[in-house]
Amino acid sequence: MTDSFSAYQIGRAYGRSRWLRGYIAGKLSFDPVFKAAWKFIILRRQTVVDIGCGLGLLGISMRAAGLTERYLGSDVSAWKINKAKEAMRYFGFESVGFEVRDALEVAIPQGATVCMFDVLHYLPPAQQKKMLERLADAAAEGSLLFLRTTFKESGWRYWITLLEEWWTRATGWIRGGAVNFPSRSELVGIFESRGLTVSVSPLWGKTPFGSEMVLVERSGQP
């Protein structure tokens, strides 16, 4: 990472667990989602709403990279949010906000940069549809949506991603929850039916997973 703190240094902020430190250092070093998000954050200079933020790595890495935009991260997992807050205090990033909150209850300020990485498939079909409709409303009001998900149609990468989901449950990293990956046509259709501009491109980097980047914005938005 080309910023003020290395991935290893950020990992140290999350406590004494060598496994957790290694996981974080690896995630920040090899997962392309963070630097992809930084690009849009820098271009827009708007409040960042990170839905399902987990350990808060986007918010912490933003500050470590010198990005000062207001950041609001939320997740249903209290222990992950507590770890994120510990890391925030470790570095003195007090302007980074974290809270325990269900994805469907997160408030989205008008014009925000909304990030939602690898979260949709945890929602049952009805809640997933409701979440996508909320996001579509936010985009129609001027927010930029930066989503990452895996589509059912992604071939062998889809099956590798399902295997990873089994592992997260077997280890207790994720406690239960649905595994409901959307189809490309279903997801894109919800946004396009509102007249929104949607672009989809691979974002799996050097990993074997079926991660796709979905960008959604109001048509004609600069």
Averaged pLDDT, groups of 10, the chain, 222 residues long: 73 91 92 93 96 96 92 95 94 89 95 96 93 97 96 86 78 69 93 96 87 92 63
pLDDT of residue 106: 96
Query: What is the b/e burial string over 109-141, where b = at least 16 CB atoms within 10 angstroms of the residue's CB?
Result: eeebbbbbbbbbbbbeeebbeebbebbbebbbe
21-57: burial string, b at 16+ Cβ within 10 Å, e else: beebbebbeebbbbebbbebbeebebbbbbbbbbbbb
Distance CA 161, CA 151 (A): 10
Topology (CATH level 3) of domain 31-218: Rossmann fold (3.40.50)
Cα 101 to Cα 53: distance, rounded to the nearest angstrom? 10
Q: E strand or H helix at 116, and its extent?
A: strand 113-117
Q: pTM for this structure?
A: 0.91
Return d(Cα 125, Cα 134) in angstroms, integer: 14
Q: 26: Cβ–Cβ under 8 A, 6 or more apart, which residues?
A: 7
Q: Where are the domains of the chain?
A: 31-218
Is the separation of the CB atoms in 139 and 216 below 8 Å?
yes
**Residue-level pLDDT at 187:** 95
**pLDDT at res. 1:** 40
For residue 13 the two structure tokens come to 């902020």
Structure-derived torsion over alpha carbons of residues 11, 14, 19, 24, reported in degrees to the nearest 10: -40
